């Protein structure tokens, strides 16, 4: 059995779960909410990217840029139109979270309405089927997915730590009232957080397209794995989501190889339950927002 | 100012989504669901349950389209004894529970006398418990072996089944001189019944002298097989047999198997004929072998039989494009068998008469072969041919060519 093949496969899954988990954390940190439609952002991003690249035949990088912009706008619109209005009407936070589940269904059925139910296939991005990496054959689109995911993670880190707006987001996450009192535009920060969360989900959706194809239920596949990753690392801790996502990517792949492929999800969620039972604040001991 | 910005952003987003929608809608302007009536007669209403939502919806949409288009064609060519046929369709939601609810409603509320099923064998098996008790004939297009040859009196199959497909798969392995293989199956009724047939107590693989190096199962709609393939290929099997649920998962499986440098044949069931497979894995399809009751082609002129050509032409005329999946031939045959039974039964309001009319069908040649239901076990087809991929093209299976293409000489 080639361990390197398994490692590359695990990195692919881990990258996807990490990005989805990080999206959950960004929103949670900025607004204290759990967004159950995060996985569907991946699906919508994949369809949008596929439309730009495959149907409208735009260059790859332009398609990627348009996907990022479109998803960024989508995230902001959902936050401003739905979430803010619900909170203004003094809706309980748990009801708002339930509402994000409804948004998830709307996104899925909306995508069905726009793109139909057929699986959407991206053409090959490169003019080669496989490349060799350390003697192991791998598709270049797989490497692209891992690369884009890591670039997104690094981009998010730099944004949060090296830009004024990112630091403002961290300040707002620590104490919204204090942040507001020093002149930080808290509503704008929260909107941007939703936009960023949707944008990075769109990037990974766009990268997934050439590897696994685009289908309506892909969001439902990545949603539970994404929040499992976020919870495992410590809900709200972006680095925790990264570690959690990679952990579950490796766990799934190696369980499939050495134990069972049919019940790998059982193992994944059993580990999650154990983590919640014995270390509810996650690996990085992230305190829950009251 | 803020309101203006948000409004502008929302408008821009809406425009982008409309562009995406327009890009999609321009590809499919036809509405295949509006059934036109040529005759003035009162329509004959039959029941239908289809997978319109759920994990398998993507794979099943063409079945429903072809069924409705074929019936539309039948109505435009005289219908059933001058009367048009119309459907009441319910969504089975890709679940046995949904199928049971659908047929219960069709029988109790809508009082239909004939039901056409979706393609999921688990759904048909569940629905059968209702239709058999109610004495309502049901014509199904799933290929699982669990719902025919089991004593059902009102359940019929208008496609090939595991009873014809699986022996052909064994035949293909023998023609390739295969000594051992890895076996994969999807965790549903189709996969489990196939696993029992191939690897059970009287397993067909062992009986054929083919050693099974490993048996792996996976969940429906799985798209990452890295781990399970890696484990299976560690035993160096000469071939892989896979019982899959749909073209996208099969395409991903083939792509990932070739990525892990598996150079042998991959033998699978008839849904490998779906045109999505080459879209997913391109030339990596080479060496993918499958039996099929009929095969669609990329041009009408290349059609393998007159009836396949008729079905392909019908699809082309209604949808403006060639059908990409041979599985639509199932729905074509399903509609034709139903129409034939309704024409000859003498009383379309008597389900027993309709059942007897189906049993009397013998020598009816359609797209997937010549039907004979007289054995009374539910199956209408006894044989199917074997095909293979040569690059992205499908061709009749030739073991010498297959060995040459895979470098196995």
User: What HEC string does chain B produce?
Assistant: CHHHHHHHHHHHHHHHHHHHHHHHHCCCCCCCCCCCCCCCCCCEEEEEEECCCCCCHHHHHHHHHHHHHHHHHHHHCCCECCECEEEEEEECCCCHHHHHHHHHHHHHCCCCCCEECCCCHHHHHHHHHHHHHHCCCEEECCCCHHHCCCCCCCEEECCCCHHHHHHHHHHHHHHCCCCEEEEEEECCHHHHHHHHHHHCCCCHHHHCCCEEEEEEEECCCCCCCHHHHHHHHCCCCCEEEEECCCHHHHHHHHHHHHHCCCCCEEEECHHHHCCHHHHHHHHHHCCEEEEECCCCCCCHHHCCCHHHHHHHHHHHHHHCCCCCCCCHHHHHHHHHHHHHHHHHCCCCCCHHHHHHHHHCCEEEEECCEEEECCCCCCECCCCCEEEEEECCEEEECCHHHHHHHCCCC
Q: Hey, what are B400's tokens?
A: 């010498």
- Chain A: closest CA distance from residue B217 (Å): 5
Mean pLDDT for B88-98 is 91
Q: Is the pLDDT of residue B6 over 80?
A: no
CA-nearest residue of chain B to A131? B259
Which alpha helices (H) appear in chain A, and where do they start and end?
3-31, 38-50, 60-78, 84-88, 93-115, 140-162, 164-174, 176-181, 186-212, 218-233, 238-258, 264-278
CA-nearest residue of chain B to A109? B53
B367 neighbors B333 (Cβ within 8 angstroms): yes
* Count of A-B CB contacts under 8 Å: 134
Q: Is the pLDDT of residue A22 over 70?
A: yes
**CA-closest candidate to residue B100, choices B108, B89, B92:** B92
∠ Cα B15 B21 B26 (to 5°): 125
Segment among A9-18, A163-172, B113-122 with least mean pLDDT: A163-172
pLDDT of residue B161: 87
Chain centroid, CA B161 distance in Å: 10
Q: Using CB atoms and an 8 Å cut-off, which of residues 32-61 of chain B contact chain A?
A: 55, 57-58, 61
Q: Is the pLDDT of residue B407 over 70?
A: yes
B213 neighbors B182 (Cβ within 8 angstroms): yes
Digit-coded pLDDT (tens) for A164-176: 888 887 777 777 7
Q: Hey, what are B101's tokens?
A: 């609810």
pLDDT of residue B24: 40
Residues in chain B: 409
pLDDT of residue B17: 62
- Chain A: closest CA distance from residue B283 (Å): 9
Q: Is the pLDDT of residue B40 over 80?
A: no
Contact A9 B284 (CB under 8 A): no
Residue with tokens 């961290």: A170
pLDDT of residue B386: 92
Q: Which residues of A170-186 are buried (b: 16+ CB within 10 A; e: fewer)?
A: ebbbeebeebeeeebeb
Digit-coded pLDDT (tens) for B299-332: 888 888 889 999 999 999 988 888 877 778 999 9
Q: Is the pLDDT of residue A42 over 70?
A: yes
Q: Is the pLDDT of residue B39 over 70?
A: no
CA-nearest residue of chain A to B220? A262
As beta bridge partners, residue B138 has B115, B155
Contact B24 A116 (CB under 8 A): yes
State the average pLDDT for chain A: 88
A238 neighbors A82 (Cβ within 8 angstroms): no
CB atoms within 10 A of CB A35: 32
Distances (CA, A) of B239 to A245, B184, B208, B283, B390: 34, 11, 14, 18, 17
Digit-coded pLDDT (tens) for A204-247: 999 999 898 888 888 888 888 998 999 999 888 888 999 999 99
pLDDT of residue B27: 33
pLDDT of residue A262: 83
CB atoms within 10 A of CB B248: 27
Q: Which of B16, B221, B227 has its CB closest to that of A257?
A: B227
Task: Name the most confidently modeled range: A29-33, A183-187, B60-64, B224-228.
Answer: B224-228
Helices A93-115 and B2-25, axial angle in degrees (round to 10): 40
Segment among A138-152, A158-172, A206-220, B275-289 with least mean pLDDT: A158-172
Q: Is the pLDDT of residue B238 over 50?
A: yes
The rounded distance, in Å, linking the Cα atoms of B27 and A30 is: 42
CA-nearest residue of chain A to B6? A77
- B168 versus B222: which is more confidently predicted? B168
B24 at A interface, C-beta within 8 A:
yes
The secondary element (H helix, E strand) that includes residue A138 is: strand A136-138
∠ Cα B349 B353 B355 (to 5°): 110
CB atoms within 10 A of CB A259: 13
Q: What is the DSSP letter of A128?
A: -
B16 at A interface, C-beta within 8 A:
yes
A51 neighbors B23 (Cβ within 8 angstroms): yes
List CB contacts (< 8 A) between A217 and chain B: 55, 221
pLDDT of residue B170: 96
Contact B218 A261 (CB under 8 A): yes
B102 neighbors B130 (Cβ within 8 angstroms): no
Q: Hey, what are A289's tokens?
A: 């927002």
3-state secondary structure of A156: helix
Digit-coded pLDDT (tens) for A85-125: 888 877 677 888 888 989 999 999 899 889 887 778 888 78
Contact A1 B57 (CB under 8 A): no
Helices B328-344 and B351-359, axial angle in degrees (round to 10): 110
B288 neighbors B388 (Cβ within 8 angstroms): yes
List CB contacts (< 8 A) between B321 and chain A: none
Q: Is the pLDDT of residue B388 over 70?
A: yes
The rounded distance, in Å, linking the Cα atoms of B39 and B53 is: 33
CB atoms within 10 A of CB B343: 16
CB atoms within 10 A of CB B196: 16
The rounded distance, in Å, linking the Cα atoms of B17 and B92 is: 30
The rounded distance, in Å, linking the Cα atoms of B306 and B354 is: 27
Question: pTM, whole model, 2 decimals?
Answer: 0.78
Contact B260 A137 (CB under 8 A): yes
**CA-closest candidate to residue A192, choices A42, A62, A26:** A26
Mean pLDDT for B136-156 is 91
Contact B280 A121 (CB under 8 A): yes
CB-neighbour burial class of residue B322 (10 A; exposed 0-12, middle 13-18, buried 19+): middle
* Position B399 confidence tier, pLDDT thresholds 50, 70, 90: very high
* Position B276 confidence tier, pLDDT thresholds 50, 70, 90: confident
Q: Is the pLDDT of residue B272 over 50?
A: yes
The rounded distance, in Å, linking the Cα atoms of A263 and A256 is: 8
pLDDT of residue A160: 83
Contact B227 A13 (CB under 8 A): no
Mean pLDDT for A27-48 is 89
List CB contacts (< 8 A) between A213 and chain B: 223, 248, 251-252, 280
pLDDT of residue B116: 96
Q: For testing the chain B interface, which of A12, A14, A110, A118 should be mutated: the one with the most B CBs within 10 Å?
A: A118
Chain centroid, CA A204 distance in Å: 7
Distances (CA, A) of B184 to A267, A268, B217, B265: 20, 22, 6, 14
pLDDT of residue B10: 67
């Amino acid at each position: 059995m080639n361990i390197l093949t398994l490692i590359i496969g695990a990195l692919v899954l881990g990258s996807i779960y990490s990005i989805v988990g990080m999206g959950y954390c960004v929103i949670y940190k900025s607004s204290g909410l759990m967004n159950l439609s995060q996985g569907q952002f991946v699906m919508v991003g994949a369809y949008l990217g596929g439309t730009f690249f495959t149907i409208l035949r735009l260059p790859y990088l332009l398609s990627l840029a348009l996907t990022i912009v479109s998803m960024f706008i989508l995230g902001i619109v959902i936050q401003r139109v739905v979430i803010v209005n619900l909170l203004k009407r003094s809706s309980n936070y748990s009801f708002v979270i339930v509402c994000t589940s409804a948004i998830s269904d709307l996104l899925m059925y909306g995508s069905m309405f726009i793109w139909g139910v057929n699986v959407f296939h991206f053409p090959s991005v490169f003019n080669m089927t496989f490349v060799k990496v350390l003697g192991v054959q791998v598709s270049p689109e797989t490497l692209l997915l891992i690369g884009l995911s890591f670039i997104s993670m690094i981009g998010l880190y730099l944004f949060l730590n090296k830009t004024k707006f990112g630091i403002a987001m961290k300040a707002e996450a620590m104490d919204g009232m204090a942040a507001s009192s020093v002149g930080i535009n808290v509503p704008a920060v929260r909107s941007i957080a939703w936009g960023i969360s949707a944008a990075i989900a769109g990037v990974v959706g766009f990268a997934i397209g050439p590897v696994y194809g685009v289908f309506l239920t892909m969001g439902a596949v990545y949603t539970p794995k994404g929040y499992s990753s976020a919870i495992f690392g410590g809900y709200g801790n972006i680095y925790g989501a990264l570690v959690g996502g990679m952990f579950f990517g490796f766990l799934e792949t190696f369980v499939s190889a050495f134990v069972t492929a049919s019940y790998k999800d059982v193992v994944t969620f059993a580990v999650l339950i154990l983590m919640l039972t014995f270390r509810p604040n996650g690996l990085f001991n992230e305190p829950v927002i009251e | 100012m803020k309101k203006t910005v948000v409004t502008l952003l929302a408008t821009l987003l809406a425009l982008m989504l409309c562009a995406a929608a327009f890009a999609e809608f321009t590809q499919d302007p036809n509405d295949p669901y509006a059934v036109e009536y040529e005759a003035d007669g009162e329509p004959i209403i039959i029941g239908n349950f289809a997978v319109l939502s759920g994990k398998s919806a993507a794979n099943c949409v063409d079945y429903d389209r072809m069924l409705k288009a074929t019936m539309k064609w039948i109505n435009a060519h005289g219908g059933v004894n001058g009367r048009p046929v119309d459907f009441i369709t319910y969504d089975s939601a890709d679940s046995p529970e949904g199928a049971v609810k659908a047929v219960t409603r069709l029988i109790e509320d809508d009082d239909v006398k004939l039901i056409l099923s979706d393609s999921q064998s688990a759904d048909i098996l569940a629905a059968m418990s209702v239709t058999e008790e109610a004495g309502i004939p049901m014509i199904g297009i799933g290929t699982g072996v669990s719902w025919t040859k089991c004593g059902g009196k009102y359940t019929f199959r208008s496609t090939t089944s595991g009873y014809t497909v699986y022996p052909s798969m064994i035949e293909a392995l023998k023609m390739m001189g295969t000594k051992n293989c890895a076996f994969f199956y999807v965790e549903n009724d189709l996969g489990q019944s196939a696993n029992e047939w191939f690897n059970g107590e009287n397993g067909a693989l062992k009986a054929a002298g083919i050693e099974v190096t490993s048996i792996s199962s996976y969940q429906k709609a799985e798209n990452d097989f890295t781990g399970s393939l890696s484990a299976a290929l560690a035993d160096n099997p000469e071939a892989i047999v896979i019982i899959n649920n749909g073209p996208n998962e099969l395409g991903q499986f083939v792509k990932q198997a070739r990525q892990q440098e598996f150079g042998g044949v991959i033998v699978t069931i008839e849904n490998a004929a779906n045109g999505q497979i080459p879209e997913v894995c391109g030339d990596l399809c080479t060496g993918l072998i499958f039996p099929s009751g009929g095969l669609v082609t990329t041009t009408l002129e290349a059609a393998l039989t007159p009836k396949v050509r008729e079905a392909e032409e019908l699809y082309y005329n209604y949808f403006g494009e060639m059908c990409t999946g041979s599985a639509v031939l199932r729905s074509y045959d399903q509609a034709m068998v139903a129409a034939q039974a309704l024409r000859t039964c003498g009383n379309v309001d008597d389900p027993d008469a309709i059942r007897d009319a189906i049993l009397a069908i013998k020598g009816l040649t359609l797209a997937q072969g010549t039907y004979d239901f007289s054995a009374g076990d539910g199956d209408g087809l006894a044989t199917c041919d074997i095909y293979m991929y040569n690059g992205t093209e499908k061709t009749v299976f030739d073991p010498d060519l297959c060995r040459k293409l895979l470098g196995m000489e």
